[in-house]
Structures are given as C-alpha cells and as structure tokens.
C-alpha cells in the first residue's frame, strides 16, 4: 500500500456535465496491497460514475466484509456508504432501496462474501430483482485471512502454499443467469476498457445487475498454477465482445451485420455497442449465454464481457406495488390513519 495520496491532478482534466471533476468521485487512500486488482476496479467505478454524470450524493455504496468490501472507502467519497457485516450486504441494500427508490445503489462484495457466507442472501437478492449494481471482486481466495481458497476457486487451481483445490467452483455469473438476473457480465480488473462501459451499463440497468470481476490477489493467489492470477487470466481471457457504452444523448441508430456486431439498448436510451467475438453467444438468450459460459469453462478460458441481458423484468418495487414517492419521504399525513379509524377498530373489538 501507499502512504500518501498525492493532491496533484492533471491541470487539463475537464469537469463532467454536472461540473464535477474526477477527483470529486475519488475516496480515501487505499490500504490494500500494491497491485491489488480491487484498486483497479475502484478506479473503473470512479471513471464510470464521472462519465455517467452521477451526482455523488445520489448514489449509496454498500458492502459486506473482506478486502473487496473495504474498497468503498477508497472511491466515491462524496457518497454515503455502508460497510455492513460479512455476507449480509444484500439484505441491507434491500432495506435501503425499499426506503428510497430514487437513489442509485452500488453493492461491492467479494467471492467469500458472496459465494460462501453470503450465498443465501445473494440468491434471494437476485430473485427479487432489486434495482442495484452488484460488483463481485473475485480473487478466488480469502485475502484478509491469508489466502484460503474460496468457493469460486477453480477445481485444480493451486494456492500459494501449493495446495490444489479439490472442490467444484461456483460460477456466480452462471448462477445469476439461472436465478433470473436481468444483467450479467464478467470482467477482469486488468481490462478497464471493458470494465468501465460494463459498469456504466449495469448502473443504467433498471434491475439487478451483476458484474463478476476477476481481480487477482497479488499477495496470496497470483502464483503459477492459480487460475485467478494476472498471468493466467491474461493468457486465457476470451471476451464475448468488445464493449463501448454510448450515453443516451449520443445514441444513434446503426445497423450492424447480424451475428457480427450488436447494440444493446438500455432502458434510458443508452447503448452498449459491441463487436461480437465469441461465436454462438447471444446476450438475449439464456441458453446461449449459459452455453458460452460452459464452453469457456471447459477449456479453461475466462469468458468476459456482457453475458446476458433482459431489460423487461419488474423490479422489487414494481412487484410490491410501492408508491413512486420514496417511502422515507412519506409523512404523518400519508402514514397515519385517523383517530376515528382507531375508534372504529376499538368498537369492532367489543
């Protein structure tokens, strides 16, 4: 880790449409190990939010426990944050979102936090289609407790101490598709070009959006034999497509030859403009998306990019038929039945 965060910013940096500078989206100095993939993801989040012109105070960031869950302190310092308990961020995010549907919710978790201790809450979060972006900083190990395998570690992957993982891995992207998530992507912390537009698209998606980001642990899981090391991922990365995010104002209709390039239009009019790289993959078809994941996994490849998208599902508020005004802004006038109503109840109990 570094000990000083320099105040210097390039004088040529221009503010975004709201007048915020990139520094307005930064956080405290990271205390993670130098070279940690998580810091790259944090930088991608900062860039994505800056470019999307998000008012920092309109976003709430939530996390669980672990290296990954510490990172919300290191980005979006002008946003409220909630570092909750291990594996329980989904329920806290659910409550927060129920209380105020107008904010943007960004959840940050890790592979232990999501795929082990938090698996119960994660799967139910997906099936409720809570409107939030959920980023898993996936390094296949428990960093804070010195490198034990996590449930996303691939079978056969070797840890720093030389142990070979004998258990099946849990594929969070495949699981999320199975559970009905409307936006599922996978990326790599070392591929900011791909990650930033994916985060932007996820934030624009009107329901639950998962981005499983392979994020190597430089200290405990970056050794030969590990399938979550920088070297391994760089050598085995296989993208579904190249991705560009086009904000709504700039979106233009372009027709691409079928099967080669495609635009995914988000509900707000923005687009993910992609050049397809993986044959047979189709982000609108569940079975094709899952098949692409399986094929990649069978050959030891890491399939990244947008995997699956379905923009037409109801989110939790729609399912619960809650009012448009955020629940936390309702007052006595809207919430309190009259004294006469209470008298009528008393009368009915006599």
Partner 1 sequence: MQAHPVINDFVVRFANVNGTGSASANNMFAKAIFRMGIPVTPKNIFPSNIQGLPTWYEVRVCEKGYLGRREGIDIMVCVNAQTMKNDIAMLPSGSYFIYDSTKALHREHMREDLHYLGIPLTAITQREYSDPRQRLLFKNIIYIGAMTALIQLDMDILKKIIVEQFQGKEKLIAPNHQALELGNRYARDHFECPLRFRLEPRDLLGDKILFEGNAACALGAIYGGATVAAWYPITPSTSVVDAFGEYAEQFRIDRETGKNHYAILQAEDELAALGVVIGAMWNGARAFTATSGPGLSLMQEFLGLAYFAEVPAVLIDVQRAGPSTGMPTRTQQSDLLSAAYASHGDTKHVLLFPSTPAECFDMTRMAFDLAEQLQTPVMVMSDLDLGMNDHLSEPLQIKAETKFHRGKVLTAQQLENIERFGRYFDIDGDGICYRTLPGTHPTRGMYFTRGSSKDEYASYTERADAYRRNMDRLAKKWETIKTYVPPPETYQPNNCSRDGMAFFGTSCHSAIEARDELNNAGLTLDVLRIRAFPFHAEVVDFMDAHDRIFIVEQNRDGQMRSLLINELGIDPQRLVSILNYDGLPITAQNILQQVLTSAGHQAVTSASMPGVSS
Binding site for partner 1 (CB under 8 A): 28, 55-58, 60, 62, 72-73, 77-85, 88, 90-100, 102-103, 120-121, 124, 128, 317, 320-324, 326-328, 330, 332, 334-337, 339, 341-342, 345-346, 349-350
CB of 124 to partner 1, least distance (A): 4
CB of 136 to partner 1, least distance (A): 18
The H or E element that residue 81 is part of is strand 80-83
Q: Which is nearer to partner 1, 13 or 99 (CB)?
A: 99
Beta bridge partners of 238: 303
Q: Which is nearer to partner 1, 84 or 159 (CB)?
A: 84
> With the CA atoms of 185, 188, 189 and 195 taken in that order, what torsion angle do they form, in degrees rounded to the nearest 10?
-40
Q: Which is nearer to partner 1, 55 or 261 (CB)?
A: 55
CB of 335 to partner 1, least distance (A): 5
Q: Which is nearer to partner 1, 180 or 225 (CB)?
A: 180
CB of 194 to partner 1, least distance (A): 29
Q: Which is nearer to partner 1, 102 or 231 (CB)?
A: 102
* Exposed e or buried b per residue across 83-119, where buried means at least 16 C-beta atoms within 10 angstroms of its C-beta: bbebbbbbbbbbebbbeebebbbbbbbbbbbbbbbbb
CB of 153 to partner 1, least distance (A): 25
Closest to 301 (Cα-Cα) out of 293, 291, 311: 293
Distance CA 320, CA 254 (A): 38
Half-sphere exposure of 204 (CA within 13 A, CB side): 25
Distance CA 33, CA 71 (A): 12
Q: Is residue 266 left, alpha or beta, with left meaning phi > 0 and alpha meaning psi from -120 to 50?
A: beta
CB of 344 to partner 1, least distance (A): 10
Q: Which is nearer to partner 1, 18 or 254 (CB)?
A: 18
Distance CA 236, CA 340 (A): 70
Closest to 204 (Cα-Cα) out of 59, 14, 37, 16: 59
Q: Is residue 182 left, alpha or beta, with left meaning phi > 0 and alpha meaning psi from -120 to 50?
A: alpha
CB of 73 to partner 1, least distance (A): 6
Q: Which is nearer to partner 1, 89 or 290 (CB)?
A: 89
User: Would you say 144 and 112 are in contact if contact means Cβ atoms under 8 Å apart?
Assistant: no
* CA 249 and chain centroid, separation: 24
CB of 252 to partner 1, least distance (A): 32
End-to-end alpha carbon distance in the chain: 70
CB of 246 to partner 1, least distance (A): 27
Q: Which is nearer to partner 1, 164 or 330 (CB)?
A: 330
Q: Which is nearer to partner 1, 257 or 339 (CB)?
A: 339
Q: Is residue 322 left, alpha or beta, with left meaning phi > 0 and alpha meaning psi from -120 to 50?
A: beta
Distance CA 233, CA 262 (A): 26
């Amino acid at each position: 880790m570094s000990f000083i965060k320099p105040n210097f910013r390039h004088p040529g940096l221009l503010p975004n449409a709201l007048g915020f500078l990139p520094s307005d989206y930064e956080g405290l100095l990271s205390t993670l190990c130098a070279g940690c993939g998580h810091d790259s993801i944090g930088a991608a989040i900062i860039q994505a939010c800056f470019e999307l012109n998000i008012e920092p105070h309109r976003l709430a960031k939530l996390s669980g426990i672990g290296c990954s869950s510490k990172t919300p302190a290191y980005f979006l310092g002008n946003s409220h944050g909630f570092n909750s308990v291990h594996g329980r961020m989904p329920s806290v995010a659910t409550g927060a979102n129920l209380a105020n549907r107008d904010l943007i919710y960004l959840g940050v978790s890790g592979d232990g936090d999501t795929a082990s201790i938090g698996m119960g809450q994660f799967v139910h979060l997906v099936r409720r289609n809570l409107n939030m972006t959920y980023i898993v900083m996936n390094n296949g190990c428990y960093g804070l407790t010195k490198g034990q395998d996590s449930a996303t570690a691939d079978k056969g992957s070797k840890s720093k101490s030389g142990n070979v993982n004998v258990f099946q891995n849990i594929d969070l992207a495949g699981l999320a598709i199975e559970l009905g998530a409307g936006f599922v992507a996978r990326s790599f912390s070392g591929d900011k070009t791909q990650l930033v537009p994916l985060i932007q698209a996820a934030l624009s998606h009107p329901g639950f959006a998962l981005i499983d980001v392979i994020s190597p642990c430089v200290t405990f899981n970056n050794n030969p034999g590990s399938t979550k090391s920088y070297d391994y991922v760089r050598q085995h990365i296989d993208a579904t497509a190249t991705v560009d995010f086009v904000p709504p104002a700039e979106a233009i209709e372009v027709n691409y030859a079928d099967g080669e390039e495609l635009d995914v239009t988000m509900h707000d009019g923005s687009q993910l403009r992609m050049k397809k790289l993986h044959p047979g993959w189709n982000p609108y078809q569940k079975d094709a998306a899952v098949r692409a994941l399986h094929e990649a996994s069978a050959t030891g490849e890491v399939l990244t990019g947008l995997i699956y998208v379905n923009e037409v599902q109801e989110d939790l508020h729609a399912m619960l038929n809650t009012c448009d005004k955020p629940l936390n802004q309702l007052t006595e006038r809207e919430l309190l039945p009259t004294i006469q109503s209470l008298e009528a109840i008393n009368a009915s109990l006599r």
